């Protein structure tokens, strides 16, 4: 058995500090004095997370944005980022995109490291944040009776990627420059029971939350907010949308715009149902390394 999930299982015996949350979350949560630090690290590889030859200003933007999206799912305020950079011919373009994204959100660049290698390039970024509410939301708190909700529209990044790949002239900004929902995450943090961002597809991330919460998720396919209803199944599996997926008490007046897509059912049995069908990771729920 190989792949991302198998490797993470190997690491769980090493990552024993409570801040690691048993590697069942996207961030480490580290109490420090009177504050709680939120730490996350994401990587992007050429040919997997961005197209060969893509404008490096957009690559820099996306690298920062996807890390800040993890902070958003914790209701965190960004404090700074550390960059791991693979040198190339378009370093100035990357630096320009990095400046733009760090000013847009805003978050300071605190340091990092550079290397020069052969073959396709990859980049890493560590984002550091401060919790604005404790307890800090994670994937593990979904309760029976909770509403399952998601912000925004799913599949928009897929359509934008296809426009960029095919050169159709259609808008590709959603894929090239995602926007982390930092304000929405801070508003939701005090009221949700579980929360994460949708990076690998709605269905896969719902499964991950159900698994972490030891709960059964019942989803209503007709309620999925998708960019193209004719391609609904692709929209909820493709990923890269960076919307917020969360559970909350069903009678709660939500502080942000979101669609209710289902209900948390029994606990102690991790399962994902869509209408009358049970789905598993083997069903092809979304993107996995």
Of 20-24, 54-58, 126-130, 226-230, give the lowest mean pLDDT range: 20-24
Cross-strand partners of 273: 218, 278
What is the model's pLDDT at position 289? Answer: 42
Beta strands 28-32 and 76-86 are unpaired
* Residue 284 or 241, more confident: 241
Non-local CB neighbours of 240 within 8 Å, separated by 6+ positions: 157, 158, 161, 175, 178, 199
What is the model's pLDDT at position 151? Answer: 98
d(CA 226, CA 156): 8
d(CA 202, CA 198): 6
3-class secondary-structure state, position 149: strand
pLDDT in tens, 107-165: 999 999 999 988 889 999 999 999 999 999 999 999 999 999 999 999 999 999 999 99
What is the model's pLDDT at position 190? Answer: 98
CA angle 45, 7, 122 (to 5 degrees): 10
Nearest one of 115, 110, 248, 242 to 189, comparing CA atoms: 248
pLDDT confidence band for 237 (50 / 70 / 90)? very high
Cross-strand partners of 279: 272
Mind listing the domains of the chain with CATH numbers? 4-131 (3.30.1330.10), 147-283 (3.90.650.10)
d(CA 43, CA 64): 10
3-class secondary-structure state, position 159: helix
pLDDT in tens, 252-265: 999 999 999 999 99
d(CA 168, CA 30): 46
What is the model's pLDDT at position 284? Answer: 66
218: pLDDT strictly greater than 80: yes
3-class secondary-structure state, position 141: coil
- Tokens (6 digits) for 189: 């943090």
46: pLDDT strictly greater than 60: yes
Q: Which helix (H) or strand (E) holds 279?
A: strand 277-279
**What's the whole-number mean pLDDT along residues 196-204?**
96
Q: What are phi and psi of 234, to 5 degrees?
A: -70, -40
Are 225 and 157 in contact by the 8 Å Cβ rule? The answer is no
Of 1-10, 49-58, 105-114, give the lowest mean pLDDT range: 1-10
287: pLDDT strictly greater than 80: no
Non-local CB neighbours of 1 within 8 Å, separated by 6+ positions: none
In b/e form, how buried is each residue of 5-32, taking b as 16+ CB within 10 angstroms?
eeeeeeeeeeeeeeebbeebbbbbbbee
**What's the whole-number mean pLDDT along residues 69-79?**
98
What is the model's pLDDT at position 6? Answer: 86
- Tokens (6 digits) for 60: 């820099």
What is the model's pLDDT at position 2? Answer: 64
d(CA 52, CA 55): 9
Question: Residue 221: CA atoms inside 13 Å, Cβ hemisphere, count?
Answer: 14
What is the model's pLDDT at position 16? Answer: 86
288: pLDDT strictly greater than 60: no
């Amino acid at each position: 058995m190989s792949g991302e999930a198998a490797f993470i299982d190997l690491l769980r015996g090493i990552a024993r500090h409570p801040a690691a949350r048993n590697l069942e979350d996207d961030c480490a949560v580290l109490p420090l004095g009177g504050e709680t630090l939120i730490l996350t690290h994401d990587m992007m590889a050429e040919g997997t997370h961005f197209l060969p030859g893509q404008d490096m200003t957009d690559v820099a933007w996306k690298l920062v944005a996807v890390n800040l999206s993890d902070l958003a799912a914790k209701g965190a305020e960004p404090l700074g980022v550390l960059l791991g950079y693979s040198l190339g011919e378009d370093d100035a373009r990357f630096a320009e995109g990095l400046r733009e994204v760090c000013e847009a959100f805003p978050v300071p660049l605190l340091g990092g490291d550079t290397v020069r290698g052969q073959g396709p390039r990859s980049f890493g970024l560590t984002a550091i944040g401060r919790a604005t509410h404790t307890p800090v939301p994670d994937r593990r708190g979904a309760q029976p009776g909770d509403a399952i909700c998601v912000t925004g529209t799913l599949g928009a990044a897929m359509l934008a990627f296809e426009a960029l790949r095919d050169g159709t002239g259609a808008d590709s900004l959603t894929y090239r420059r995602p926007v982390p929902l930092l304000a929405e995450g801070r508003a939701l943090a005090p009221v949700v029971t579980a929360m994460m961002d949708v990076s690998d597809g709605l269905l896969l991330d719902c499964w991950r939350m159900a698994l972490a919460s030891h709960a059964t998720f019942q989803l209503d396919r007709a309620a999925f907010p998708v960019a193209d209803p004719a391609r609904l199944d692709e929209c909820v599996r493709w990923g890269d949308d960076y919307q917020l997926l969360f559970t909350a008490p069903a009678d709660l007046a939500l502080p942000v715009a979101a669609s209710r897509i289902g209900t948390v059912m029994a606990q102690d049995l991790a399962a994902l149902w869509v209408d009358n069908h049970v789905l598993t990771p083997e069903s092809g729920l979304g993107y996995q390394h």
